[in-house]
Each structure stands twice: as structure tokens, then as C-alpha cells.
Structure 1
Amino acid sequence: MSEIVLILGYNYDSNCYLIDNKILVDTGAGENKDYLFAKLCENGVEPEDIELVVNTHCHFDHIGGNHFFENAKIAVHKLDAIPIKNEDTLGTSGSAFGFDKINNTRVDMELEEGDKIADFEVIHTPGHTSGGICLWDGENLISGDTIFAGGGVGRMDLGGNYDDMKKSVEKLMKLDVKGIFPGHGPVVENNGKDHIKMSYSYL
């Protein structure tokens, strides 16, 4: 099973996750390059070692550092690839937070439900955005802004949809999740399934 290393979000940055020392899930808002690179180096990884960046969705606080990794391919769900390629600061929610310029328009791989990334399967979980995804390895869920620790779900007022979110959380409830690695906040190490049930009860 792949190793997942948390790089805790700093300021506007989302959490980022290092998988097998060559895949990076999300890259933060792009404001704290030195912090991100220092955390990679602490784990024995040089930025140029990253071969693949996977974005859990298209919001600026998850894609803002994509351009730091010129050697890596950029992967995102096909629906969320659209606002990235179109430099759509509304769709990437940058304009809502004063980020009017998106430096990251490159998408090399457009993901779909069931695609494989290392030991993980792509699960399409719209709700926070139309192309939000989670990554699932049979035990651990890298959940982006779909699910958070303590029963939280991603906000639905920036390109999201309540009905989609409810269906997505319902889908995740069927998995026997132990660890949850969310886009923001603390990691859940054991009883992830309970946190997903809690999230559903709040919807």
C-alpha cells in the first residue's frame, strides 16, 4: 500500500499529500513555495522528483502551486479541467479571495471515475465542485474538500451543488474507510467511516 505523507496547509494553502515520494496531491495556493519545498525536502524529495500532480478539484487553494512542478504531469477530473484551462477565476474561486490571476492552466491528464493512480482509485465526488474527486486505496481516502474530519463537508456556494454533495457522501458511506486525508484540517487515522456518517447526518 502506498505511503501517504501529510504536508499541512499554511495560510490559504490546502493540505498537500506526498505519495510514494513522486506523486503530489494538490499544491496549495502558490503563495508559500519555500514552505512547500522545505516540507518535500524534509521527506527526502526534491521538487523535480515529483512526476505527477493530482488536483482533487479546481479551486485556487489546491492548484496554485502546480506551476512549481514543471517536470510533473498535471491530472484533474475532466469537468474541473475546464475552468483551469479557461483561466476562469470564478470557476477556480480565485476571484472570491482576491486571487485574480491563475498561473496554472496546464492539464496533462483528464481523470474519470475508476482511473488508477498508484494504489488509488479515482472516485468522482461532485458537490464542492462539479469535478471533485477522492482517491481510495481500499483503506484510506484522500478526500479533497468533499469530507473533513469531524463531520464536515466542503462549501457548496462556490460552484458546488447540494444534491451532488449528498449523493457523493452517500457513495463514500459504502466504503470501509479507516483513514481520511482531507483538503483542510486534521487527518482521521482510524474510524473514518464514522466521520463520513456524521457528515451525511448534517446534510
Structure 2
Amino acid sequence: MRLEAITWDRLGDLLAERLLDLEPADGSAWPRVAFDGAPAARAGDLAERVSGALRLRGRPSLVVGAEGFLRPASLRLEYGHHDAESYYDGWHDTGALWREVFDPLGPGGDGRVLPDLWDPVTDRATRSPYVALPPGGALLLHGPFLLRHWFPLDLSVHLVLGPGALRRRTPEAEHWTLPAFERYEAEADPSGTADVLVRADDPRHPAWNG
């Protein structure tokens, strides 16, 4: 696959322009976009850039981080603090993401989204209020392993890091998570299935397949 060099600002603008014309295939009133990538790829930064570019174009959006939908520590850490299999399969509350984020933005939904559910620092519910996303507003969800859950996405963006870059940019204390990302690439093939691929090995010089 051929990738072209681009700046982050330009990438945000081009993705925002693409979203202006995006019609959900299932008849929903809200385009739903995933920015998928390991924490080291900083997918949330790109989601925020796209949100800002949409705002300048008069289009509302809501940025939601999957880290706001972690399971309680008693469930996440059942097999220890450094279990890569649990990190891959059991850290994120995908049921809550369906219930609180995707269902309200599906056909016939009311657009009222819970932006986060659980604070991993305090290990308590965030008690955040619901946010009403107007029809036509875009959901910009970011986080790891998003392309293995069959979420109803209208556009998927995968930020990929090569094995060396992933290891370099992941804090040493989190290297125990690396096997989970190897498994994700092998099982879900996000680089091959995403609508947009962004190579982020060098954070200053991204490339994409747009």
C-alpha cells in the first residue's frame, strides 16, 4: 500500500472535509468514526484535530475516549496488573460503549450520549452528564482495539506504529501491553481493514493512504 506524507493539520482538515459528505449507511443521523490505535500513537490527538476542523466548518462533533469506558479494577486486574490477555479482552466495557454511545446514535436514537462512565484513577463512576449531539454531528471515538468489536462505524481510521516505533514510544512500564497489540494486528488486521491508514512512526511526519 502506498502512503503519502502529510502534516497532522492537513490530515485533520481532509478527514473533516470527508465527514461533511459522509452519509451513514444504516440511516442514522450521526456519522460514527473510530480513531483506532495504541496509546503511543495518540489517536485522541487526531480526533481532537478533526473535531476542531469540523467546528470551523460549522459541524458539531463529540470526541469520546475508550479509556472512559474501562471496567472496574476488580474486573480488569482479576489476573494481575500485567496480564496482556486481560488487557486485550477484558479491560474495556464494550457493552457500555454500545449502550451509552452507539445505541443512542443509531437509527431512531435520541442523540444523548454518555461521554465517559468510569474513572480508572479513582476507580469510581464519573457521573458525567449526558451530552446531546445534534443530528448531523459526528461521533469521534478513539482508543485501542476498536476494529474488533463490530461497532457500527461509518469511517475507520487506524494509526499504525511499526514494532520498533511502538516499543520506543510506549513507556517501559507499559511494555507488558505490547503482545496485545501484536495479537490485534494478527487477528483483526486493522491495517488492512481500516478505511484510512495513518503511519505514525515519526510523530513529526505522518503518512496516510488518502
Question: Which has the larger Rg?
Answer: 2
Same fold (TM over 0.5): no
More helix by share: 2
Q: TM-score, normalised by structure 2?
A: 0.35
Q: Which has the higher contact order (CA 8 A, sep 6+)?
A: 2
More strand by share: 1
